[in-house]
Amino acid sequence: MHRGLRRFSSAVSSLPSVLQARSTDIHFNLATESFFIEALKRQTPTLFLWRNAKTIVIGRHQNAWKECDVKQMEGDGVKLARRYSGGGAVYQDHGNTCFTFLGPASSFSKERNNALLLEVLREDFGIRGEVSGRNDLIDSEGKRKFSGAAYRHLGDFSLHHGTVLMDVDMQGLSRYLTPNKLKLQSKGVQSVASRVVNLKNLNKEICHHSLCEALTRRFLSHAPDVPEDQKRVLVLEEASVPFGQDPLFLTHLQRMRDWNWAFGASPSFSHCLEGRVKLGTFEVNMQVEEGLVKDVRVFSDCLYPDLVEELERTLRSARYSGESLKGAVGGLGDWGGREGKMEDQDWKMCIEELGEWLYNETVG
């Protein structure tokens, strides 16, 4: 057993059967779910309810720069998170409710979970829905998707997790999931937009809190396998979760917050930039692997041929982001190869312009 689990096993095993996260930090919530999945493996049916502030969640094998408008996200304070599982990119905000069903595989039923969700919507909110395909829920009248989910069977333990669109900013779907139209080629999976609807459009009274309360009541009343002393709710505060110091949980949390996981885990891709600045016309071809510029070739009619080689050397191994590339080029302001050919101030202005061009043309 993991030594962290030995330390917290009693606290973890006695957790109530319904857990509601107060935090809206996507990284904290994904780490919490991952901790439950990998370490907890409770043999008691459990429901975890949560939601996130504005964020884009991408699949394990997706290219962050191809799926997202990273600069727009940074400007608007939208976080990026990469989940462990596959699938496409999705936008989430406070108008989105996330659910995770956990329990022993011997009595686990995705169909029962879907039936519970649909029953709550019908009985408590007058919204009629149905299952569509393997993992989606749609409204019966308009046939529009309001929930997507995934199911995993892990030995004697299973989980079923997904999202419910309550009052999501539909503008965010296009604002942040529309990549810039650049010469970007990738081996990653490109997301496909679905026809969706907010449940708020079907019932103005529904919200995250009312749905969570209704799901909690229904889950506890339909859970005969849950011991009576665990038929209760625990609100998870980020600063005081019972497993907050568990090494395995902290490992997941650190990874979720790590740039190298969110961006560096993107598939390899190539990017070609073409433009003209005062120094001349530049074509910069970059091969990006694990979020770093692994190789770069620069073609230019610049009057300083040695600068082209120096630019290649400077960009190679740099982190693929506008700020990083701009910073790397900024170091050429003191490049000795231009001595006697241009005044210092004029040279630095040209280098700044080159850096700004790279910043503006880079996807992230």
Q: Which domains does the chain have, with CATH numbers?
A: 3-262 (3.30.930.10), 269-361 (3.30.390.50)
Confidence of residue 130 (pLDDT cuts 50, 70, 90): very high
Higher pLDDT pick, 70 / 7 = 70
d(CA 335, CA 348): 10
Whether pLDDT at 254 is above 60 = yes
- Beta 96-104 vs 136-139: how paired, if at all? unpaired
pLDDT at 361: 84
Whether pLDDT at 339 is above 70 = no
Judge contact between 185 and 270, C-beta under 8 A: yes
Confidence of residue 336 (pLDDT cuts 50, 70, 90): low
Handedness of CA 113, 119, 122, 128 (dihedral sign): positive
* Rounded average pLDDT over 340-359: 84
d(CA 253, CA 226): 29
Higher pLDDT pick, 64 / 186 = 64
Q: What are phi and psi of 320, to 5 degrees?
A: -80, 90
pLDDT at 363: 64
Higher pLDDT pick, 348 / 204 = 204
Judge contact between 17 and 220, C-beta under 8 A: yes
User: What number of H helices and E strands is found in the chain?
Assistant: 12, 15
pLDDT at 141: 92
pLDDT digits (tens, 9 = 90+) for 175-230: 888 654 443 455 554 444 458 899 999 999 999 999 999 999 999 887 667 767 67
* Rounded average pLDDT over 63-74: 84
**In a 3-state reduction of DSSP, which class is residue 236?**
strand
Neighbours of 229 (CB within 10 A): 9
d(CA 96, CA 94): 5
Judge contact between 37 and 154, C-beta under 8 A: yes
Q: Per residue, what are the HEC states of 206-225?
A: CCHHHHHHHHHHHHHHCCCC
Confidence of residue 153 (pLDDT cuts 50, 70, 90): confident
When mean pLDDT is compared across 2-11, 279-288, 293-302, 315-324, the lowest value belongs to 2-11
* Rounded average pLDDT over 53-63: 87
DSSP letters spanning 303-343 = S-HHHHHHHHHHHTT-BSSHHHHHHHHHGGGG-GGGTTTS-
State the burial class of residue 334 (Cβ atoms within 10 Å of its Cβ: 0-12, 13-18, 19+): exposed
Q: Which helix (H) or strand (E) holds 191?
A: none
